[in-house]
Amino acid sequence: MTQLYYPLHSLREGNWFKLICGASLQHLPAVRNLTLAYTLAGADCIDVAADPAVIEVAKDALQVAGELAGVAQKQGFKIPSKPWLMVSLNDGEDPHFRKAQFNPDLCPANCPRPCEKICPAQAIVFPNTSEVSSGVIEQRCYGCGRCLPVCPSELIYTRSYVSSRSAIAQLILQTGVDALEIHTQVGHFTDFQQLWRVIAPWVDQLKLIAISCPDGEGLIDYLWALYQLITPLDSALLWQTDGRPMSGDIGIGTTRAAVKLSEKVLAARLPGYVQLAGGTNHHTVAKLKAVGLLREAERQEKEIGGEEQNSSFPMSYSQPYIAGVAYGSYARVLLSPILDELEKLNEQEVAGHLAASQSTSFRHLEKFPTLLWQAVARADSLVSQLKELRNRK
């Protein structure tokens, strides 16, 4: 088995782990440090915004992770391979592709600012800084929308955007991404079809196509229609069941919607792999085990056999088990205390050297080994829940 094909092997085993940095998250230090920590913890896929700058910092983090692989092994972490780099696109209006905005000058002086307290990305900042023009640090905001209903004055709104179809070919060919994920919804077939026409000529450059869709009336018929449209494929196909988008850090209950939706899609026996997302958190794997949706290690050996030795990318097959789990807001919040501490150390270092430069090199996690391995340990506490299925064999 070569490192190149290990992520595909993880899909087949049923212990695929994907980190969702966020389709709208453009805060480069956060993307880079999250990618580094979760790669060193053994993630199979890193999903980032379809932004060339974001892609470049993620690729830089993957390179650094490769250089630190030996050190990670001495620290007790097992890095099976280089994860695939994925970018997300949308075929229309989608909550993952939006930014919050408001004018802080209109806020009442006595407002308790619940928006600032509830924002999981620390994207809402009121002090006057050159970084903020609308009350929201746009690069940090990933569109969860939690600030909208809590604003007493109803001043917050969102700005949505659709992926630029003219830039997709350039994105695939010039950035070297491994996978594309298309966010869609029931009823978007015409929009999806138009987007697919642009993508189709370049699909053979990719290792994986993922389709992310929330539940809705007629969901299964819609997914079958998409399958008929995009096949045949030389790459693997993955269905992402988006249970309760961007909510995994809220509580245990959010994972129930993701599991329930995965059961619905698995029952349809669509060709391809099924992966959870939307509300996934520390409780997800335990819930999947409880309902019997994770493949047992002994069964893996019988069903997979020597398939992982195959160097081709055959069409993925339908199976009654989950192929893996994607973690977004929970995975990010899990590391936020360490990344916050990193920010404080960066500020001290800049002040200590009287530096005027705002270079992001001061925010590189590997510059602070103690924080780095603390971050990797936290990431590993999540990744290992799935990877223990492999390690038990």
Domain membership of residue 359 (yes or no) is: no
User: Which residues lie across from 46 on neighbouring strands?
Assistant: 19, 85
Tell me: do 321 and 259 sit in the same domain.
Answer: yes
Asked if 316 and 273 count as a contact pair (C-beta separation under 8 A), the reply is yes
Asked if 339 and 295 count as a contact pair (C-beta separation under 8 A), the reply is no
CATH number at 150 reads: 3.30.70.20
Domain membership of residue 351 (yes or no) is: no
Q: From CA 203, how far away is CA 275, in angstroms rounded?
A: 20
- Give the structural domain span for 249: 3-92+166-331+381-391
At 130 the pLDDT is: 47
Tell me: do 131 and 199 sit in the same domain.
Answer: no
Tell me: do 141 and 227 sit in the same domain.
Answer: no
| Distance between first and last Cα of the chain | 16
Tell me: do 200 and 83 sit in the same domain.
Answer: yes
User: For 317-322, which contacts have Cβ atoms below 8 Å and span 24 or more sequence positions?
Assistant: 317/271, 317/272, 318/269, 318/270, 318/271, 318/272, 319/273, 319/295, 320/266, 321/14, 321/266, 321/293, 321/294, 321/295, 322/14, 322/262, 322/266, 322/274, 322/275, 322/276, 322/288, 322/293, 322/294, 322/295
Asked if 239 and 270 count as a contact pair (C-beta separation under 8 A), the reply is yes
Tell me: do 104 and 121 sit in the same domain.
Answer: yes
CATH number at 282 reads: 3.20.20.70
Other beta carbons within 10 Å of 4: 12
Domain membership of residue 336 (yes or no) is: no
Q: How many domains does the chain have?
A: 2
Residues in the chain predicted with pLDDT less than 70, given as ranges, are 1-5, 24, 80, 92-98, 127-134, 160-173, 245-249, 252, 296-319, 346-362, 389-393
DSSP assigned state of 337: H
At 243 the pLDDT is: 82
Tell me: do 13 and 80 sit in the same domain.
Answer: yes
Q: Quick one: how far is CA 164 from the chain centroid?
A: 20
State which of 125, 140, 160 marks the end of a domain: 160
State which of 114, 131, 160 marks the end of a domain: 160
Tell me: do 181 and 239 sit in the same domain.
Answer: yes
E strands in the chain: 16-20, 45-49, 84-90, 98-101, 157-160, 179-183, 208-213, 236-242, 273-277, 324-327
Other beta carbons within 10 Å of 182: 22
Q: Could you tell me which residues come within 8 angstroms of residue 117 by beta carbon, excluding any fewer than 6 positions away?
A: none
Domain membership of residue 57 (yes or no) is: yes
Domain membership of residue 337 (yes or no) is: no
Tell me: do 114 and 258 sit in the same domain.
Answer: no
CA distances (Å), origin 364, targets 28, 214, 259: 10, 35, 36
pLDDT, one tens digit per residue, over 99-140 is: 778 888 888 888 888 898 878 778 888 765 444 455 888 777
User: Which residues lie across from 211 on neighbouring strands?
Assistant: 182, 239
Domain membership of residue 343 (yes or no) is: no
Domain membership of residue 366 (yes or no) is: no
Tell me: do 49 and 141 sit in the same domain.
Answer: no
φ and ψ of 219, to 5 deg: -55, -50
State which of 123, 141, 160 marks the end of a domain: 160
Which pair of structure tokens corresponds to residue 279? 């509300």
At 73 the pLDDT is: 86
At 284 the pLDDT is: 93
Q: Where is 298: in which H helix or E strand?
A: helix 297-304
Asked if 76 and 373 count as a contact pair (C-beta separation under 8 A), the reply is no
pTM of the model: 0.83
At 139 the pLDDT is: 72
At 298 the pLDDT is: 43
Domain membership of residue 362 (yes or no) is: no
Tell me: do 14 and 68 sit in the same domain.
Answer: yes
Tell me: do 30 and 150 sit in the same domain.
Answer: no
Tell me: do 196 and 126 sit in the same domain.
Answer: no
* Upstream peptide bond of 337 is cis (omega within 30 degrees of 0): no
